[in-house]
Amino acid sequence: MTPLQICLLISALLFAIGFAGAVTRRHAILALVGIELMLNAANLNFIAFWRYGAHPEALTGVLFVIFSIAIAAAEAAVGLALVIAIYRHYKTSNLDEVKELKG
């Protein structure tokens, strides 16, 4: 097994865990945690393919991941703000109960 394959396996595992968390958790913040895990699995893939790819000397993979993390941070901030707003409105953060679109 090459190191790339091991990385991809770990990444797939991480993605699966994140997906499972995002899909099954009722709490909005836990679902967000799941989504972050899936995002990081994707980041891990970027790193792995850059590190064991054709041009490891170019910093393309790292740069992409840094961007991705920044976006993830912004997304997490927006997501958390939404969760707080939803909680204030519905007095709950249970995703199953927040299915009405009208305010």
Partner 1 sequence: MIWIVKNLWLIPALPLFAAGIIAVNKQPARKLAAGLAIGSMALGFLLSLCAFAATLGHHGEGAFRETFSFNWIQFGGQWMSIGWVLDPLTAIMLVMVTFVGMLIFIFSVGYMAHDQNFMRFFNFLALFASGMLGVVIANNLFLLFVSWEIVGLTSYLLIGFWYHKPSAAAAAKKAFITTRIGDLGLLLGMVWLYAQTGTLNFYDHGHGCMEASALAGMVSKTICGGMMVSTAIGLLIFLGAVGKSGQVPLHVWLPDAMEGPTPVSALIHAATMVAAGVFLVARVHPLMAAGAAHVEHGAPVTTALTVVTWIGAITAIFAATIAVAQNDIKRILAYSTVSQLGYMMMGLGVGGVAVGMFHLITHAFFKALLFLGSGSVIHGCHEEQDVRKMGGLKKYMPITFVVYAIGMLALAGFPLFFSGFWSKDEILHHASHWSVSHVPFYLGCTGALFTAFYMTRQMGLVFFGKYRGHEESSHAEHDHSHSAHSSESHSHDPHESPAVMTVPLIILAGFAILLGVIGTPAWPWFDAYLNGELAELQIKFGNLAASAGLMGASALIVLTGITVGWLLYGKRQRKTAAEKDVLEAAQPAIYKLLENKYFIDEIYEATVIRFNAFAAWLCDFADKWIFGGAVLLVKYLTIGASWLYRLTDENVVNGGFDAGCGSIRGGGGILSRLHSGRVQTYLRIIGVALVALIIFLIWGRKA
Decide if residue 103 touches partner 1 (CB under 8 A): no
Number of shown-chain residues binding partner 1 (CB under 8 A): 11
List, as own/partner pairs, every contact residues 97-103 make where C-beta atoms lie below 8 angstroms and the sequence separation is at least 24, other chains included.
98/28
Decide if residue 8 touches partner 1 (CB under 8 A): no
Please list every residue from 68 through 97 that binds partner 1, using CB under 8 A: 95-96
8 Å CB contact between 22 and 38: yes
Please list every residue from 16 through 45 that binds partner 1, using CB under 8 A: 19, 22-25, 31
Q: Where are the alpha helices (DSSP H) in the chain?
A: 3-24, 28-51, 60-90
For partner 1, the binding residues (CB under 8 A) are 19, 22-25, 31, 95-96, 99-101
